[in-house]
Structure 1
Amino acid sequence: MSRSRTKRNDVDSAAVLAALGNKYSAEILCAADTPKSAQALSEDVEIPIATCYRRIEELVDAGLLTCEGRRLSDNGRRTNIYRRTLDEIEVDFSDETPDFSQKRRTEAKNRLQEQLSN
C-alpha cells in the first residue's frame, strides 16, 4: 500500500481541515466510494439535501470529492455525480502548519469498484 506524501503547497490545509471538521463530511466521503448523486448521498447519510449540497461543495473545494460528470436522474433531470478522490488521509500537526499524507484513488480502483457494485 503506497502513500503519496503531499507538500503543503499542493493542499490547502485550512480548507481540508475545515471540510473534514464539518458534521457529515466523513460520512459523505465514505458513502462516495462509487459515483453518486447528491440525492443518493443525502439518502445514504440520512441528512437533508440542502446540508448535503453544502458539504459536497466544501469537500469539492478542498479537493476531497470530485464531480465525475452528469447523469439522468429517475425524474429525467441531469444531476452531478460525485466520488471521493482519496481513500486515506493522515494529518501531521507536529510542524507550524499541518502536513498531509494521502492515498489517492486510482482510476483502476474506481473501475473495479464500479464493476463490483453492478
Structure 2
Amino acid sequence: MFMWNIPDVSPEDLMEMLSDEYSRKILYSTVSEAKSAAEIAEENEIPLSTCYRRIRWLLDSHLLRVEKIILTDKGKKSALYRSRIKDIRVAFKGGRLSIEPTAP
C-alpha cells in the first residue's frame, strides 16, 4: 500500500470525486484494463461528453492515467485510460481525513 501524497488533491477533494457516481464507474471499469473514453461511456451508460469531463477531472487529480495512445481505423489518435487505484481506505482520525489507495 502507498500513502496518498499528491499536493494538488486534498483528501476532501478526493472524497468529493469518489462521491460522484460517474467517476467511480470510470475508475472501476479501468482497473483491470485500459479503455477508450467511448468504451467507458458505452459500458457504463455515461453520456460521452460527461465521460470526457470526468476523465479530465480524474487525470488532473492523478487518479487516472493515459496508458497508451492508439490509432483508430480512421487514422485518429485515441487515448486508452487506466485507473491508478484499485482500492482506497479512508480514515477519519483526530479530526483529519487520511487516504490510503492501493495500486492495481
Q: CA deviation at 1:96?
A: 3.2
Q: CA deviation at 1:35?
A: 0.9
SS at match of 1:15: helix
> Residue 73 and residue 100 in structure 1: after superposition, are their counterparts in 2 closer, same or farther (change >3 A)?
same
Show the counterpart of 2:45.
46
> Residue 8 and residue 69 in structure 1: after superposition, are their counterparts in 2 closer, same or farther (change >3 A)?
closer
Q: CA deviation at 1:30?
A: 1.1
> Residue 10 and residue 62 in structure 1: after superposition, are their counterparts in 2 closer, same or farther (change >3 A)?
closer
Show the counterpart of 2:17.
19
Q: Distance in 2 between matches of 1:66 and 1:20?
A: 16
Larger deviation, residues 29-38 vs 13-22: 13-22
Percent of aligned pairs with the same amino acid: 32
SS at match of 1:54: helix
Show the counterpart of 2:58.
59
Check if 1:78 corresponds to 2:81: no
Which segments of 5 or more consecutive residues in structure 1 lack a partner in the other structure? 106-118
> Residue 21 and residue 104 in structure 1: after superposition, are their counterparts in 2 closer, same or farther (change >3 A)?
same
Q: CA deviation at 1:36?
A: 0.8
The letter of the residue matching 1:15 is D
Q: TM-score, normalised by structure 1?
A: 0.75
Partners of 1:12 and 1:62 within 8 A in 2: no
Partners of 2:8 and 2:61 within 8 A in 1: no
Which segments of 5 or more consecutive residues in structure 2 lack a partner in the other structure? none
Higher helix share: 1
Q: Matched residue pairs, number?
A: 103
Q: CA deviation at 1:32?
A: 0.7
Q: CA deviation at 1:11?
A: 4.9
